[in-house]
């Protein structure tokens, strides 16, 4: 097969470096939309939001990077969103500095954590002190080859349902995509965490056990099986999720149909499943309540995270103008081990997919 000339490869690699990243641009809680700020690298003036603003669309590299906490140089948001147990939350991931493109990656897990902010609202909370518990995770679809993250690449939001029995209080919710297109090498995985600030109402009593809590950084290692995945492009991968198991207080009846499963390998580990399924809509916002802190709870099966597959991708695209930014080209070494280079773009440039 004829290889592309340098005059073709270099401009495409330059474009790839500009667009092969992303962030949470918006979220919807039980039908209420919350817009987030673009990364500060775009020179934007921040406006009040519930989503913590990051400095760049680029990923966090390295499991012990301090920015794995809530994203690259994340700063506290000024607002807190009201939510109720059982509410559906939709996370809209976008690509480009201004979110004018679809999310660019399709390989890797989707995971969601929560942490209590104590008696204070989360706009005043230092997330580096947070103790996180996992509420949902999603990996491969039942075919064993397609990642649920691929639907986000197609424009779908990632959905999670707040645990129906979670205790009221102030919570950070940490929604994370891990891109594994370079995960066949130690240190190659790309982390994209995003934190939003909630005040959860209701009268639930569900709390995580102390053994289910983790810190970021600290919950992952670069050589964990779910982060370093040498056979990531092999068919029927038996994927193992990194981090702790899903908190045991979560009601199994909230889950949908099962997807691929794995075993946690770091933090306070245990067996856990990555699943998907449909969920009911939310109940509407409610004001806060008492502090939620760890306690022993009854064991239960994991909750599920699911993707909403829209008939088309019009809605979210209309919220943003196209990103016209560019960035300098990289060394031709990226041809073989591209940094932040999606599998789809690799196919465009080199005529094949891994």
Q: What is the pLDDT, as a whole number, of residue 257?
A: 31
Residue 152 contacts residue 344 (beta carbons within 8 Å): no
The CA distance from 115 to 350, in Å, is: 43
CA distance readout (Å), 177 to 54, 185, 300, 333 = 15, 18, 25, 26
Q: Which domains does the chain have, with CATH numbers?
A: 23-328 (2.70.50.70)
Above 60 in pLDDT, residue 298?
A: no
Average pLDDT over residues 233-252: 91
With a CB cutoff of 8 Å and minimum separation 6, the contacts of 311 are: none
Tell me the pairing of strands 110-116 and 169-179.
Answer: antiparallel
Query: Which of these, 312, 306, 305, 313, lies nearest to 99 by C-alpha position?
Result: 313
Query: Which of these, 149, 91, 186, lies nearest to 344 by C-alpha position?
Result: 149
Q: What is the pLDDT, as a whole number, of residue 45?
A: 85
Q: Give the SS3 label for residue 113.
A: strand
With a CB cutoff of 8 Å and minimum separation 6, the contacts of 145 are: 235, 236, 237
The CA distance from 184 to 193, in Å, is: 20
- Average pLDDT over the chain, rounded to whole? 77
The residue among 290 and 176 whose pLDDT is bigger is 176
Give 147-199 pLDDT, tens digit per residue. 999 999 999 999 999 999 999 999 999 999 999 999 999 999 999 999 999 99
Q: 171: which 2 tokens?
A: 């919570």
Phi–psi pair at 66, nearest 5 degrees: -55, -30
Q: List the single range of 39-53, 68-82, 153-167, 310-324 with lowest mean pLDDT.
A: 310-324
Q: Which residues are registered as beta bridge partners of 179? A: 190
Q: Which residues are registered as beta bridge partners of 275? A: 258
The residue among 225 and 287 whose pLDDT is bigger is 225
Phi–psi pair at 28, nearest 5 degrees: -130, 125
The CA distance from 12 to 338, in Å, is: 12
Give 82-91 pLDDT, tens digit per residue. 999 999 999 9
Residue 262 contacts residue 134 (beta carbons within 8 Å): no
Above 90 in pLDDT, residue 324?
A: no
Average pLDDT over residues 20-43: 94
């Amino acid at each position: 097969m004829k290889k592309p000339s340098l005059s073709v490869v270099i401009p495409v690699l330059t474009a790839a470096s500009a667009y092969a990243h992303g962030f949470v641009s918006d979220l919807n809680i039980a039908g209420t939309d919350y817009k987030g700020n673009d990364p500060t690298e775009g020179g934007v003036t921040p406006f009040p939001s519930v989503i913590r603003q990051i400095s760049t669309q680029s990923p966090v590299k390295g499991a012990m990077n301090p920015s794995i906490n809530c994203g690259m140089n994340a700063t506290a948001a000024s607002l807190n969103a009201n939510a109720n147990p059982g509410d559906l939350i939709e996370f809209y991931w976008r690509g480009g500095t201004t979110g004018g493109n679809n999310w660019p990656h399709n390989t890797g897990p989707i995971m969601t954590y929560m942490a209590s902010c104590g008696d204070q609202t989360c706009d005043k909370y230092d997330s580096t002190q947070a103790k996180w518990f996992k509420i949902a995770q999603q990996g491969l679809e039942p075919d064993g080859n397609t990642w649920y993250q691929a639907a986000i690449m197609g424009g779908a939001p990632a959905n999670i349902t707040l645990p129906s029995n979670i205790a009221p209080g102030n919570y950070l919710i940490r929604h994370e995509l891990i891109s594994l297109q370079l995960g066949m090498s130690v240190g190659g995985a790309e982390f994209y965490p995003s934190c939003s600030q909630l005040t959860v109402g209701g009268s639930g009593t569900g709390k995580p056990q102390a053994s289910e809590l983790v810190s970021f950084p600290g919950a992952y290692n670069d050589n964990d099986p779910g982060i370093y995945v040498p056979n990531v492009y092999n068919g029927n991968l038996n994927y193992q999720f990194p981090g702790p198991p899903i908190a045991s207080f979560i009601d199994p009846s909230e889950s949908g149909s099962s997807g691929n499963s794995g075993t946690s390998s770091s933090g306070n580990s245990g067996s856990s499943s990555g699943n998907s399924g449909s969920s009911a809509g939310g109940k509407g916002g409610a004001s806060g309540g008492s502090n939620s802190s760890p306690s022993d709870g009854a064991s239960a099966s994991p909750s599920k995270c699911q993707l909403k597959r829209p008939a088309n991708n019009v809605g979210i695209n209309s919220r943003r103008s196209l990103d016209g930014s560019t960035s300098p080209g990289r060394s031709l070494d990226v041809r073989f081990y591209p940094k932040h280079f999606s599998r789809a773009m690799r196919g465009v440039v080199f005529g094949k997919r891994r």
